[in-house]
Amino acid sequence: MPTHRSTPSPAPRRGGATLQQVADAAGVSLATASRVLNGSTRTVNPELSAHVKEVASRLRYVSHGPAQALARATTSLVGLLVHDVNDPYFSAIAAGAMRVARERDLLVMVANTYRDADLELDYIARLDAQRARAILVAGSPPVEAAAAAALRERLVDYVLGGGRVVSIGDQGPEIDALLPENVEGGRAAALHLAGLGHREIGVVTGPAGLVTVAERLEGFSAGLMESADDAHVIAQQGDFTRDGGYRATRRLLEQHPEITAVFALSDLMAVGALAALREAGRRVPDEVSVVGFDDLAICADLTPALTTVRVDTEGMGEQAMRMVVEADSPDDDGGSESAGADGASSAPDVAGDGSATDDAAGQRRRIIKSPTELIVRGSTGPAVS
Amino acid sequence: MPTHRSTPSPAPRRGGATLQQVADAAGVSLATASRVLNGSTRTVNPELSAHVKEVASRLRYVSHGPAQALARATTSLVGLLVHDVNDPYFSAIAAGAMRVARERDLLVMVANTYRDADLELDYIARLDAQRARAILVAGSPPVEAAAAAALRERLVDYVLGGGRVVSIGDQGPEIDALLPENVEGGRAAALHLAGLGHREIGVVTGPAGLVTVAERLEGFSAGLMESADDAHVIAQQGDFTRDGGYRATRRLLEQHPEITAVFALSDLMAVGALAALREAGRRVPDEVSVVGFDDLAICADLTPALTTVRVDTEGMGEQAMRMVVEADSPDDDGGSESAGADGASSAPDVAGDGSATDDAAGQRRRIIKSPTELIVRGSTGPAVS
DNA sequence: CCGCGATTGGAAAGCGCTTTCCCGCATCCC
DNA sequence: GGGATGCGGGAAAGCGCTTTCCAATCGCGG
C-alpha cells in the first residue's frame, strides 16, 4: 500500500488557537480555561468566566474534539450502518436517527455497506477505532451464515469493549434490537388478498435467507393458511430492488399467467412489479392486484396508488437512536418534538428504557417491536378469474 | 460529586489493549509497535513485524482514532451537510460521496440541516471541532441573505483553519464548487415545451431566492424567449417538496385553467403536480404536459413516466468528494472502480485536479460544472388548445 | 481575633499515539 | 581496512485537553 501521507505538508496546521493560548491570553490557567469553555462540575467566577469566553471567541477558539475524546475517554460520535442510503427505506431510517442524534448532540457517521459483509466488518472496525459511542445497524444481517456470524461476533466484541449497539432487525440474542412486525404485516397482506378472493397469488421475494424476507413470507403464508387454504402461491426471487422486482415479476407472468395478485416483499420491488405488469398489459387492479411492503413515501403517488404494509421506518430510526444513547445516560429531557410520524413508535410494546441492568457485563437484551399496518390503496381489488 | 455522566461508571473503560500494552507483550518498544501497526515510512524487520501483528491481534488491539488524530494532527473524517437525507436528491448525492469516501478510507459524518441556517452553522462548528478534514456542502445556500452570509463566513473560517470545502451549488467566490447546469437544463425544458406548441405554461417553483430555483427559472425564461416569445408563463411557488408542488399546482389550475403545460422545478414537486392534475381530472400528457427536474430514480415508474431534466446527482456527490480529498493528497491511485453512473462525471468541464495552487493561502477557486440533460418520457406531448 | 470549612484557581499528571532524534551495527567502497 | 553510509530499533518529547490534587483565599462562628 502507498505511503500514508505523501504531501510534504507545507502547512499542516489546522484550527486556530489552543486552549492553552486562550488561557495565556486571558491570564488564567489552562485548567480554568477548560472549566469555562467546557461543561465542568466546577464553577468559575462569573466575571472571570465571561472574560475567558470573550477571549476565546476573539481568538476563534474551537475545541479539539479528538483531544477531548482522548482526555475524556469518550466521544460524541455514533455510527450508522445502512445497506444503502440511497434506498428510501434506509434513508428514512437515517433521517429518523439523525433527528434524535441532533437532539442529543451526537454526530452520526454513516456507512454505506452495499450489503457487502466484508465492508460491514470493516466499517465496524473503523467505527470502533474512532471510539464511536454506539453503532446502529439497520437492515437484517447477511444471508450467508458465516458472514452473519462474523458480523455478530464483531458486534459483540464491540459491545464487550464498551460500545452500544442497537440493530433494526435481529442480529442474534446478544444484540438489542428493534423489530418491525414483519410477520403480522405479511399476514395482513394475505388476509387482505384472500378477502378479495385471490387464490392464484404470485410472490415477489427478496434474497432467500434474508431474515426480513423470511418473516414477511412466513406471515403471508400463515395468513393465507388461515383464510384461504385453497390458495396457490408461487414465488419468484430477485434482488431487493426495483429491478429485482421487475424481473421477478416478468418471470412470474411468464410461468404463471393465471395469477390474479402479486405480493411484493418490498415497495421497491412492487414498483418493479407494477412496471412489469404494465408492460405485459395486465391492468392493475382490474386484472391483477398488487401489494407492497414498507410504505415508502412515493407509494401514494404511484398509479394506481400502492396498497402496502406500512413500516414506521423513520420512527424506527428515531427509536433505535434513542435506545442506543439512552442506555448510557438515563437522564431524559422530555425534548420530544417529533411530529405525527412518531406516533406509532411512541407506544413501544416493551417497557424498555431504564428497566434492564445497565452495563456490559450483566446486561439484559432489550427488544422493542415496531408495529406494521396494512394501508389499502388503489392497487388491490376483487379477484376476477 | 455528581459528575457529568450520572452512571457511577462501573467500567468506563473502552476498547481493549493499548499500543503500549501490545508493545510490552511483544517485547518491543512503543515506537516499533506503532510503526508496525500503522502506516509508517519507516520499515521494520519482517519477522518482528509479523510477531507484533500477531500479538496485536491476539490482544484485540484496536487503534485509538482520537489519539492518532491528536498525534498526527489530522483525521480521516469528512462532513457532509445535506438538507435532508430522506430527500432522494440528497440521498443520491450522499451515496455518491460515500462511495468515494469509502475508496479513500474516509468516514463520513452526515448532518441533516433541514434547511435551517442555524443548524447549518452549528454543524459546521461541530465538524470543525472534530477536525473534520473536509466538509462537503450539498444544496444551495439559505434564501435569507444574512443567513447565507453567515454560512459563507463560517465556511471561509473553516477553510482558513485548514479545512477543505466543496459545495454543490454556489456559496460565493471563496468556496470551490460543483455546479449543476441548471440554466441549460431550464432552457432545454423550455425548448421542449415550446417545440410541442405549448404557450400557456404554469411553472411550479421552489422558494424564491434559492439559487437553484433562480437558475432553473432563468434558463427556462431564456429558452422560452428564444423559441416562443408569445408564450405566457405564470408561476406558483411552494416548498421544494412533493406537497409544495401539489399545492402550487392546485393554485395554478384554479387561477389559470387554460395552461397546457406545467414545468416543476424539481421532480418531487412534479410528483405533487401530477397528483394535483390527476385530482383535477386533467389528463397527462393529453391535456397537460409536465416536465420535472432532477431525474430521480422513480421518474421512469410514474404514470405517465416523467419527462424531466436529468441532473447527475450521484456523480456530483462522487465528484465533490473527490475534489475535497484530492486537493490535499495529490497522489492518485488509479483505483477507479466506479460503475456506469460515473460516466458523466468523469468528463469534467474543467481541467481541475492538480492545476490550481495548493494550499489555503494562495488558493484559486475551482469550479466544475455538471451537465444536465433533458430526458423525454411520457408526461409531455403536443399542446392542444 | 483566630481557626476551620468552603470555595476557587493553578500545577501537573496523564489520555494513546506519532515522530524526531539518537545509537549501534552491518554494509560498502576505495 | 577504515571511515562513510544506511538501516532498524528505542527513548522521549509532545499533540490539546481533562481532572485530580493542592494551595490560597474568604467568610464566619466562637
The model's pLDDT over B335-375, given as tens digits with 9 standing for 90+, comes to 333 333 343 444 444 433 433 434 444 567 899 999 999 99
List of B residues 9-38 with CB within 7 A of strand D: 27-32
**φ, ψ for residue B112, nearest 5 deg:** -95, 115
As given in the structure block, the three cell numbers for residue B213 are: 430555483
CB B208 within 7 Å, strand C: no
Q: Which three cell numbers stand for residue A144?
A: 450467508
Nearest residue in B to A134, CA atom: B14
Mutate to test the interface with A, among B130, B271, B377 (most CBs of A within 10 A): B130
The strand C neighbours among B residues 2-31, by Cβ under 7 Å, are 18-20, 30-31
Please, are residues B225 and B253 in contact by the beta-carbon 8 Å criterion?
A: no
Is B129's CB within 8 Å of A62's CB?
yes
State how far residue B296 is from chain A, nearest Cα, in angstroms. 11
A11/B73 touch (CB, cutoff 8 Å), yes or no: no
What residues form DSSP beta bridges with B180? B370
Q: How far apart are CA B364 and CA A125, in angstroms?
A: 37
Query: Is B164 near chain A, with CB under 8 Å?
Result: no
Query: Buried b vs exposed e over B202-211: b needs ≥16 C-beta within 10 Å?
Result: bbbbbbeebb
Residue B214 pLDDT exceeds 80: yes
A residues 360..379 contacting B (CB < 8 A)? 360-361
Indicate the length of chain B as a whole number. 385
Which residue stretches of B27-165 are H helix?
Answer: 30-37, 46-58, 65-72, 88-103, 117-129, 145-160
Q: What is the band of A242 on the pLDDT scale with cuts at 50, 70, 90? A: very high
Burial class (CB in 10 A: 0-12, 13-18, 19+), B28: buried
Interface test with A, best of B60, B301, B337, B379 (most A CBs within 10 A): B301
pLDDT in tens, A94-106: 999 999 999 999 9
Return d(Cα A235, Cα A214) in angstroms, integer: 12
Mean pLDDT of A217-243: 95
Q: How far apart are CA A275 and CA A270, in angstroms?
A: 8
Distances (CA, A) of B332 to A5, A215, A364, B162, B353: 12, 46, 48, 21, 10
Q: Would the CB atoms of B125 and A62 count as touching at under 8 Å? A: yes
3-state secondary structure at position B240: coil
pLDDT grade for B41, boundaries at 50, 70 and 90: confident
pLDDT in tens, A354-370: 334 344 445 678 999 99
Cut 0.85: pTM above it: yes
Tell me which amino acid residue A135 is.
Answer: I
The answer to whether B142 and B170 are in contact (CB under 8 A) is no
SS3 label, residue B77: strand
CA neighbor of A269 nearest in space, from A181, A312, A206? A206
Cβ of B50 near strand D (distance < 7 A): no
Q: Compute the radius of gyration of chain B from its Cα atoms.
A: 26
CA of A62 to C1' of C3 (A): 45
Q: In the beta sheet, which residues pair with residue B138? A: B168
Closest-lying nucleotide for A46 based on CA to C1'? C8
Q: Are B219 and B186 in contact (CB under 8 A)?
A: yes
| Residues B98-109, mean pLDDT to the nearest whole number | 96
Q: Distance (Å, rounded) from C-alpha B77 to C-alpha B72? A: 13
The reply to whether B64 Cβ lies less than 7 angstroms from strand C is: yes
Give B-chain residues touching A104 at CB under 8 angstroms. Answer: none
Pair A259, A202: CB distance under 8 Å? yes
**What pLDDT score was predicted for residue A9?**
37
C-beta separation of A131 from A107 below 8 A? no
pLDDT of residue A338: 39
Quick one: average pLDDT of A218-246? 95
Pick from B102, B298, B330: CB nearest A298 = B298
- Residue at minimum CA to C1' distance from nucleotide C20: B31
Question: Does residue A343 have a pLDDT over 60?
Answer: no
Phi, psi at A165, each rounded to 5° = -135, 135
Q: Which helix (H) or strand (E) holds A80?
A: strand A77-82
Least confident of A180-189, B44-53, B120-129: B44-53
Of all nucleotides, the one whose C1′ comes closest to residue B42's CA is D8
Percentage above 90 pLDDT, chain A = 75
- Residues 6 or more apart from B140 whose CB is under 8 A from it? B169, B170, B210, B211, B212
- Percent of chain B past pLDDT 90, that is, above it, reads 76
Which one, of B10, B63, B18, lies nearest residue A360 by Cα?
Answer: B10
Instruction: Say how far apart CA B251 and CA B200 lie, in whole Å.
Output: 15
Which nucleotides in chain C lie less than 7 Å from some protein C-beta? 7-20
Segment B119-172, tens digit of pLDDT: 999 999 999 999 999 999 998 888 788 999 999 999 999 999 889 999 999 898
- Shortest alpha-carbon distance between residue B6 and chain A (Å): 7
Q: How far is the CA of A35 from the C1' of D24 (A)?
A: 19
CB pair distance less than 8 Å for B16 and A69? no
pLDDT at position A286 is 96
* pLDDT value for B287: 96
Nearest residue in chain B measured CA to CA from A96: B86
Nearest Cα neighbor of A376 from A198, A192, A112 is: A192
Overall average pLDDT of the B184-202 stretch = 97
Q: Are B215 and B353 in contact (CB under 8 A)?
A: no
**Closest-CA residue of chain B to A89:** B86
CA distance B209 to chain A (A): 26
Contact status of A84 with chain B (Cβ, < 8 Å): yes
User: What is the arithmetic mean of pLDDT over B260-279?
Assistant: 97
Q: Which residues of B touch A339 (CB under 8 A)?
A: none
B302-341 pLDDT, tens per residue?
999 999 999 999 999 999 999 988 765 444 443 333 333 3
Mean pLDDT to the nearest integer, A5-11: 36
Among A285-294, B31-40, B150-159, B255-264, the range scoring the smallest mean pLDDT is B31-40
